Amino acid sequence: MEDNAQTGEGDEMISRAIADNGLPLKIQTEWTDNDYWERVYPDSDDLKCVNVAGWLVRINGKKYPRGHTDGDGHPDWTYRYTPGQGQTEAGRKIAIERALGEAGLTVW
């Protein structure tokens, strides 16, 4: 896998690779640290802040991690890969490996 560019927008990086099946892959990674607000009770205006920090990976534009839902069955796009290595190059590589595994892809 080859790192091609750092965009300068936050911690987003772009890598390129070829999957074992010959598919060219554009892999974008971004470290995000966001606060989300959720209601404490469905019938009140009391809010609770939930911090979500971790790696967001896009493979050919498709966002990973996938398959996680909130309590109502809607997609939960706040989920992130959070390896113990955190916001490091090692943590980034672990997040990419997990996303490739989730996508059913391997690279050579």
Residues 60, 107 contacting (CB under 8 angstroms): no
What contacts 24+ positions apart, CB below 8 Å, involve 12-19? Answer: 13/92, 15/96, 17/107, 18/107, 18/108, 19/105, 19/106, 19/107, 19/108
pLDDT confidence band for 1 (50 / 70 / 90): low
Distance between CA 5 and CA 8 in Å, rounded?
9
- pLDDT digits 0-9 by tens, 10-56: 557 889 999 999 999 999 999 999 998 988 998 999 999 989 899 99
Q: What angle do CA 11, 7, 36 make, to 5 degrees?
A: 40
Q: Is the pLDDT of residue 7 over 80?
A: no
The pTM of this model reads 0.76
- The rounded distance, in Å, linking the Cα atoms of 60 and 99 is 12
Find the helix or strand (DSSP H, E) in which 89 lies: helix 89-103
